Structure 1
Amino acid sequence: MQSSEATEARQPARSGAARSRAGRGRLEWRTLRLWLAFAWLVVIIGVAVLADVLPFAEARNPGKTLYEPALATPDLASGHPLGTDRHGLDLLGGLAYGARVSLTVGIGATALGCLIGMLIGLTAGFVRGRLDAVVGLLTDSMLAFPPLILLIGAVAVMRPSVLVVTCSLALLTVPSYVRLARAHTLTLVPREFVLQARALGATSSRIVFKELLPNVVWPMLSYSIVVVAAMIVSEASLSYLGLSVQRPNPTWGNMIAAGQDSFQQYPHLVLVPAVAMFLTVLSINAVGEAVRSRELRNAR
């Protein structure tokens, strides 16, 4: 009898210890994943910034590839560690310049859309009335319009470039930022610090920029990290369709498009840029998840 009671007493202790070890294991894995994500982002950003300094001229200048082997397979001991494409352009250099385009478009479109959408959403949520109704109608209309058609139309009218693609993608992010900023503003307007500012005679612009904006900007930045990853994928999709930067200037999307016809014989032409884009998007999402988790813990 005593033996069975002792066994039952030990079982909850064992299960608690097992749960504790499992919790520590999950925490260690999340920490390791976050550090790996940071490491990859530091590498890819550094390579993108220093691409002109590094010996990557053969990645986008066909005139320098006359004596370079075409369709060379990856060989870490050679001058082309990741191989070359059918024109002899270096794939490693293509990754560097492609990272520059993807990060420029991703960060630029997100920053521009965040700035415009946050200001509109703050103003609409604070003023309310007819302005809020008009902003809501325009936001709903933009969200209902197919984004791919809007992008194709914008790029078709203007010559494809980094600036055009950035502005077009930024336009697509504005409605989401407007909604997010408006929702946070509506929850902040009845708060005591806003009412106190009004009672002290603060102007509307001071309340918006001094009281509301600092409390809205952090949730917007947390959301923006995920948007950057989505913008990188969107730019690659446009490049794949030939609606972004054109060859020989490399982007991850047009590198995948250029190598798809030879995928069976030379899979590295597609896998090299695809894996780079996958790791970049995965790392950005991991960082965004960590930031959101910390924000939720602070809110509690």
Structure 2
Amino acid sequence: MATLELRIREDVTVRSRRLGLLFWLAIGWIILIFAVAILADVLPFPSPTDMDMLEKRAPFSTEHWLGTDGLGRDELARLVFGARSSLLVGLCAPVIGVVIGGALGMLAGYFRGRFEALLVGSADVLLAFPPLILALAITAYLGQSILNLTLILGVLGVPAFMRVARAATLALSRREFVIAAQALGATHARILLRELLPNVVLPLTAFFLVGVAITVVAEGALSFLGLGVPPPTPSWGSMIGEGRESLDIAPRLAFLPAITMFLSVLSFNLVGDTLRALTDPRQGAL
């Protein structure tokens, strides 16, 4: 066992040295947007909702580093506070998906039988609906709020996380350490929590980061359509939607939040894909 653990650590160490520059640039960008989102209230920026109609679409200046939008609001402040809204939904919704979907997926992959067929069938039914259309319909019915948006996107993410957890559990449930635990008389709960969960967490964590990127895009799409984060709270999607009215006069109002969202989504995808490669159980990670 000690020799096996040593080999696993050496394998992970060797692969971690191949991360590359893009991975660390993505990590740096994620740290930056999280830092500005957390410290938005103490940073020297004006309020993102204060309007000055005399400064509509003002260019870059020392007072407004990225200019102002169509209502005279500071564009940089709205980008910073918009990061808080987008990341709040982007992080909390996948947490709902990974907790509920991960638990159901592990149970389905371990117990199999009719229980697995019921869960997989339910997930297939939910996946059969176009997620954006379903989110639009539910949001229009429940009303606009960050809580409703987070719950809707979280529930829509449950089937994907359930599939990942089930696939990992199926691959691991017949491994030697699980069979040995069963032979020693371990209960189902102990096997699930002590043997399988530490291994299933690895692919779920990697997919969680990809889920954050997908959720940020989904939140941006709903906000762009006017059914996401309610105004005047800024978010990157709503800023893109507001900026499209000024494309011929000040295209930066749409491009700046779009570029910010693009870099954030790309960074989460890069980090998630890299961690998924490093923690692939087929590579020997136990």
Check whether TM > 0.5: yes
CA RMSD of aligned residues (A): 1.9
- 1:136, 1:46 → 2: CA distance? 39
The answer as to 2:164 corresponding to 1:180 is: yes
2:57 — aligned with what?
71
Selected match of 1:41 from 30, 37, 58? 30
Q: CA deviation at 1:69?
A: 1.5
Per-residue deviation, residues 194-216 of structure 1 (Å, max 9, x unmatched): 12222222221111111111111
Selected match of 1:170 from 137, 154, 160? 154
- 2:203, 2:24 → 1: CA distance? 23
Selected match of 1:93 from 63, 66, 77? 77
- 1:155, 1:164 → 2: CA distance? 7
- 2:161, 2:23 → 1: CA distance? 26
Q: CA deviation at 1:57?
A: 4.0
The one-letter amino acid of 1:189's match is S
The answer as to 2:257 corresponding to 1:268 is: no
The answer as to 2:215 corresponding to 1:231 is: yes
Q: CA deviation at 1:295?
A: 2.8
Per-residue deviation, residues 89-147 of structure 1 (Å, max 9, x unmatched): 11101011110111111111111101110100111111112111111110110111111
Q: CA deviation at 1:297?
A: 9.7
The answer as to 2:111 corresponding to 1:120 is: no
The answer as to 2:264 corresponding to 1:280 is: yes
| 8 Å CA contact 1:74, 1:268 repeated in 2 | no
1:152 — aligned with what?
136
Could you say what secondary structure the match of 1:55 adopts?
A: coil
Runs of 4+ in 1 over 6 A off after TM superposition: none
Q: Which shows bigger deviation, 102-111 or 52-61?
A: 52-61
- 1:154, 1:145 → 2: CA distance? 12
2:44 — aligned with what?
55
- 1:55, 1:100 → 2: CA distance? 16
Q: CA deviation at 1:296?
A: 4.5
The one-letter amino acid of 2:271's match is V
2:176 — aligned with what?
192
1:249 — aligned with what?
233
- 1:187, 1:40 → 2: CA distance? 34
- 1:249, 1:219 → 2: CA distance? 34
Could you say what secondary structure the match of 2:70 adopts?
A: coil
Question: Aligned residue pairs: how many?
Answer: 268
Gaps of 5+ in 1: 1-26
Selected match of 1:219 from 203, 220, 229? 203
Per-residue deviation, residues 77-96 of structure 1 (Å, max 9, x unmatched): x1110010121111101011
| 8 Å CA contact 1:61, 1:248 repeated in 2 | no
The answer as to 2:114 corresponding to 1:130 is: yes
1:9 — aligned with what?
none
Could you say what secondary structure the match of 2:278 adopts?
A: helix
- 2:235, 2:243 → 1: CA distance? 12
Per-residue deviation, residues 177-227 of structure 1 (Å, max 9, x unmatched): 111111111122222221222222222111111111111110111111111
Q: Which shows bigger deviation, 233-242 or 172-181?
A: 172-181
Residues 1:189 and 1:290: Cα distance change in structure 2 (over 3 Å)? closer
Provide TM-score, normalisation by structure 2. 0.88
Residues 1:57 and 1:164: Cα distance change in structure 2 (over 3 Å)? farther
Residues 1:290 and 1:183: Cα distance change in structure 2 (over 3 Å)? closer
Q: CA deviation at 1:155?
A: 0.7
